[in-house]
């Protein structure tokens, strides 16, 4: 069975969204756990988890805004 090119584009887009969301969350969480162990605290991981989540949401928002902006420019008729 042959899949259409749109299916592959959608899978690629979903993968990009998930990577852009998960990498900052995991990176900041692991940094927070490392700092908690080194400093003997218990709040760095929580704070950095939320910082990572905000960074992930920002990445996804910027990527979606770029995609929709590009799509809007392609849909405009020529000469306008």
Whole-prediction pTM value?
0.76
Quote the pLDDT of residue 38. 95
Taking only the tens place, the pLDDT of each residue in 39-62 is 999 899 999 999 999 999 999 999
How far lies 49's CA from each of 9, 30, 45, 69, in Å?
Answer: 30, 9, 6, 30
Per-residue pLDDT tens listing for the chain (80 residues): 566 888 888 889 899 999 999 999 999 999 999 999 999 998 999 999 999 999 999 999 999 998 888 766 665 665 55
Quote the pLDDT of residue 18. 94
CA angle, residues 43, 47, 49, in degrees to nearest 5: 115
Quote the pLDDT of residue 54. 97
C-beta contacts of 6-10 below 8 A and 24+ residues apart: none
Which domain covers residue 56, as residue numbers? 5-75
Q: By the 8 A CB rule, do 63 and 16 touch?
A: yes
> What's the structural domain count of the chain?
1
Quote the pLDDT of residue 7. 85
Within-domain flag for 80: no
Positive/negative CA dihedral, 41, 43, 46, 49: negative
């Amino acid at each position: 069975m042959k899949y259409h090119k749109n299916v592959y584009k959608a899978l690629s887009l979903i993968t990009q969204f998930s990577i852009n969301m998960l990498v900052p969350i995991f990176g900041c969480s692991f940094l927070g756990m490392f700092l908690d162990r080194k400093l003997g605290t218990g709040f760095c991981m929580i704070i950095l988890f939320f910082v990572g989540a905000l960074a992930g949401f920002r990445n996804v928002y910027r990527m979606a805004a770029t995609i929709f902006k590009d799509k809007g420019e392609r849909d405009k008729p020529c000469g306008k």
